[in-house]
Amino acid sequence: MELTHIEHIGIAVKNLEEAIPFYENVLGLKCYHVEEVPDQKVKTAFFRIGSTKIELLEPTAPDSPVAKFIEKKGEGVHHLAFAAKDVHSALQEAGDKGVRLIDSQPRPGAEGLQIGFLHPRSTFGVLTEFCGESSGS
């Protein structure tokens, strides 16, 4: 597979309105985009830092995976997203190599990107996302 950089780091927060000012007023970053992703039951807020982004994730429902994450582990780093040239083939290759997949097919994520997740049990505890412009299929 061809991964080019860390596209974003996903951070689970209870409340975007409370978390955004830390990134803006303390770290000096600018929130350039807020978007709800119904598929994942989250509201996201984005900040750019170099070629990487910070993606804050606030759960929008009690059964949101991010709500469950916060319940278990508290707020904090939730996932690491690699920019993939071809999300579909990256998922397929990981699956072929024995990695447990959460998504066997890409699905729509924030910012119009295709995304797919690898299971943290197969990735040494890090929920790993591939994301990119096209599904390649």
Query: Within positions 105 to 134, which residues make up the interface with Co ion, using CB under 5 A?
Result: 129
Report the candidate in 111, 114, 108, 113 with the shortest Cα–Cα distance to residue 33: 111
Least separation, in Å, of the C-beta of 71 and Co ion? 19
Stretch that binds Co ion, among 9-17, 22-30, 61-69, 96-104 (CB under 5 A): 9-17
* Token couple for 50: 């170099």
In the set 12, 42, 70, 81, which binds Co ion (CB under 5 A)? 81
Using rule CB under 5 A, residue 87 touches Co ion: no
Cα separation, 73 vs 71, in Å, equals: 6
Give Rg (Cα) of the chain: 15
Task: Copy the structure tokens of residue 79.
Answer: 């996932």
65 vs 92 by CB, closer to Co ion: 65
Residues that bind Co ion (CB under 5 A): 10, 55, 81, 129
